[in-house]
Each structure stands twice: as C-alpha cells, then as structure tokens.
Structure 1
Amino acid sequence: MYLSRVEIDTQNRQKIKELTHLGAYHNWVEQSFPDEITQGDRKRHLWRLDQLASKNYLLVLSENKPDAGQLEKYGVSGTATTKSYDQLLDTIKTGDTMRFRLTANPSYAAPRPGQKRGQVYPYVTIAQQRQWLNKKAQKAGFKLVWQQPSIDEMDGFVFDVVSRDYPTLHRKAGRSVRLSRVVFEGLLQVQDLTAFKATLVEGLGREKAFGMGLMTVIPKV
C-alpha cells in the first residue's frame, strides 16, 4: 500500500477550473493510475481533501503507486510525494494510543416500503455525528479515548468534529446531490489489530469513492 499527497494549485484558477464537484476529484484520482486503466484492473483508491497551514492537499491511499505526473495534473509542480504505507501498518500494535484524522459520511439507511434497499440519510447534528463514530469504532478495531471532561471537551471524548460541509456530486443523468462531509480529529486506542488495519486500508463509512472514509493515524507522543 502507498500513501500519496500533492498540494492542489488553488492559485491557478485556469488549472483547477474543472474541480467544481466531488466527481471531478474522483476522476483526477482514477486518472493518476494509468497502468490500471490500460490493464483493465481498476483498484479501489481511498482519498480525501486536507487543509494544512492554509494550503490544500489531495491525499490518496492506493495499492499501486500513482503516476506522479498525473497526480500533479491539478497540483503544484514538484509537490507530489508517495510513501510506503505498509511500513506504518507494520509498526502499529494492539493497545497503541494514536492521534487520528478521518473524513467521513456519517449516515444511516431507513427502510422503504416495497424496496430492498433503504433510503440513505445523513446525520446532521454534531452529537449524532459523534455518536455515529462511537458506534462504528468497536467493529472498526478501535475505541475512542475517554478522560474526565473539561470545558473544551464534550462527553469525555478526546475527539471532535473539526469541519462539516455539503460538497456537490454530479451523478449520472445530470442529477446532482450534496453529500454530508465531516472531518473528525482526536485520540483512539487500537483494540483489534486486524480489524483496525482493515479500517485504515479499506476506509470507514459510505461514499468512499468520493473522498470519504480515509482515516490516517500517527502515534501519540
């Protein structure tokens, strides 16, 4: 597995004029793996958009290395980097406490009369979104760290929602929808190592093809 990052060239409006919706970013990611396209062996790629120190980045987790030139198609020249993700995975142990960042689509499916598949609805309040992550944690191989709550902490959780928005996705047949996108940050403890590694590699929640589900971690120091 490989983790890649490139700074998005937001200062060049001509260069990024196509990046108006999540589907455009999805296409950017997919086109960054030309060998997979040629061989007809498309892999699942997790990705998300990050903002750090007033700069915007595209982060991609993939089984194969992306083509650096394609990855920089809408990026700042020379900023594309790719590192082995397996090296990080190999260092994680059960019981480790880690800082995490997760961009996700907290949602649920409600039954529809006469339909096999339920209607998907987003969780809209911060409390609901936090509860969603807490419920997902056990099956995903981790628990959210608790401590005595302070003024700046809610419910004793050492994690919070740091960003929420509703970016547009243009689906087929000209139909557009807005997806709920939530960024969580905080502390977790690894409980089930196999399940946790699977979460890091496979993502968490819905809409993984459109910039949701990618969790990254670093050791707590």
Structure 2
Amino acid sequence: MSTLTRISINPARRNGRKLLTNPQAMHAAVRASFPPDISEDEARVLWRVDPHDHESVLYVVGPEKPTGAVIVEQAGWESRPAQTADYGRFLDSLMKGQRWHFEIVANPTYSEPNGKRGKVKAHVSARHQLDWLYKQAPKAGFALAPRDDDPCTDEERSRWAVSDAPMVMERWTDTFGKGNESRGSRNQVRIAKARFSGTLEITDADAIRHALTHGIGRARAYGCGLLTLAPVK
C-alpha cells in the first residue's frame, strides 16, 4: 500500500533545525521511520520539505505507513501528529487528460562526455533547469505548457493559459557531510536543487503513477524527485 505522509517540522527546535539544514540527517530520520526490510517495488521512499512562515512541512511517500511519531517527537509539535493517507486511492483516480497543479524539488543534471560513462554535472541556470524538466515530462507521463519557441500548433498553444507555464520558484545548493566523521571519512556532498511549480496534463496515467511513487531525477534519497499534485484553482 503506497502512502503519503505529512509531518510539520518545528524550525525553533534544535532537532528541527538539524533536519531542515542537513539532508543526510533528514534522510536518516525518514528511513528510520520505516522498517529496514521494506520492499520498494510498489513505492520508493521519497521525501521533500516545503518551507512556510512558521513551520516547514515534510512530505514522505513510501510503500507502507511510516512511524511519523518519532520525527514529531524529536522535531515537531505534539499537537500536530503525522498525517498519513492511502496514496493508492488517489493514484487510481488519475486519468489521461486531467490537469493538475504540480510541485517538485529536483536535482536537474546532465551527462558531460568523459570516456564511456560520462560525468554527471548539475544544471545551475533557471533556463537549463526548465529545459531539464521539459525533457523529463514525456517519460514521466505528463505534458507542460508549450514555450514560445516550442514547435506546436496554434490549437495546442491555445489550450494553455500563461499562468499554466512551469516556473523555477527557487534554486539553491545543499552542502553537507556524508560518511563516518569519527573515522575521518566525512566527504562533502553538493546537490544543486530547483523547486518547480506549474500546471501539467496527464498523457500516460501509468507513467505518472510510477513517477509519483518512485520519483524523478537524481538525489532522491536527499529530498529530490518527489512530485505532488493538487487541484488546479
């Protein structure tokens, strides 16, 4: 059973600040809320943090209900327990042609030729990050509003409003240590992130279900790749 969980994080608490500023710590806390032997065939463990004025909201997708009370006890408010919903019911309702408002934090990257495998590098400009999102859309089962220079018919272009166009809402780079500090093997990790928001249209219901439960792009263990949908206002 795929689940979607919402947990309020208190930035005024020491552990809350730690989780919000260290993706490695948040990754460990999220994984610890699931049994170590879970199967991720149906859904991968994904998470994303959305900041608000007085709290930050942690969203978690997983193959079963997490023990969110542990994170609440350490970094949230007792009066605001974790909220978990059966994600499967929502996923089953998705159909081709539906439009949804979407949000995703992603790690847009590209492969630079360097021998057989190539070297993975991050897109850092908003334009290239948006290009990355448009390239991901078809295989993730959705379409986006055509850009000014995209080849498409006038009829197709007229189906989209200016407000539907996806935008890069913010860009930043997370830098954190990974490894065993006591053994002198603490490596610095840098992950370039972009938060996208806009309107999408479902083109392949099965593909978008997979994207919603398994993520899009790289660095999914560190707060990237979790796509969420909400009704279009």
Could you say which residue in structure 1 is the equivalent of 2:212? 200
Q: Work out the CA distance in 2 between the residues paired with 1:109 and 1:46.
A: 23
Could you say which residue in structure 2 is the equivalent of 1:55? 55
Structure 2 spans left out of the alignment, 5+ residues: 147-156, 180-184
Q: Residue 31 of structure 1: CA displacement?
A: 1.1
Secondary structure of the structure 1 residue equivalent to 2:208 = helix
Q: Residue 112 of structure 1: CA displacement?
A: 2.2
Secondary structure of the structure 1 residue equivalent to 2:29 = helix
Q: Work out the CA distance in 1 between the residues paired with 2:85 and 2:67.
A: 13
CA change 1:17–1:198 in 2 (3 A) is closer
Could you say which residue in structure 2 is the equivalent of 1:168? 175
One-letter amino acid of the counterpart of residue 88, structure 2: D
Give structure 1 regions of 4+ aligned residues with deviation exceeding 6 angstroms: none
Structure 1, residues 93-133: CA drift from partner, whole Å, max 9, x if none?
A: 100011000110000122323xx532211101100000100
Structure 1 spans left out of the alignment, 5+ residues: none
| Superposed counterparts of 1:116-195, under 5 Å | 116-146=116-146, 158-172=165-179, 173-195=185-207
Alpha carbon RMSD of aligned pairs, Å?
2.0
Query: What's the TM-score, normalizing by structure 1?
Result: 0.87
Q: Work out the CA distance in 2 between the residues paired with 1:182 and 1:201.
A: 20
Q: Work out the CA distance in 1 between the residues paired with 2:187 and 2:76.
A: 28
Residue pair 1:22, 1:170 contacting (<8 A) in 2 also: no
Could you say which residue in structure 1 is the equivalent of 2:151? none
Could you say which residue in structure 2 is the equivalent of 1:11? 12
Secondary structure of the structure 2 residue equivalent to 1:162 = strand
Residue pair 2:130, 2:167 contacting (<8 A) in 1 also: yes
Query: What's the TM-score, normalizing by structure 2?
Result: 0.83
Q: Residue 57 of structure 1: CA displacement?
A: 1.2
One-letter amino acid of the counterpart of residue 83, structure 1: A
Residue pair 1:96, 1:219 contacting (<8 A) in 2 also: no
Q: 1:85 aligns with which of 77, 87, 90?
A: 87
Q: Residue 71 of structure 1: CA displacement?
A: 3.0
Residue pair 2:106, 2:224 contacting (<8 A) in 1 also: yes
Structure 1, residues 137-167: CA drift from partner, whole Å, max 9, x if none?
A: 111110002457xxxx6xx961100011111
Identity %, equivalent residues: 33
Q: How many residues get paired?
A: 209
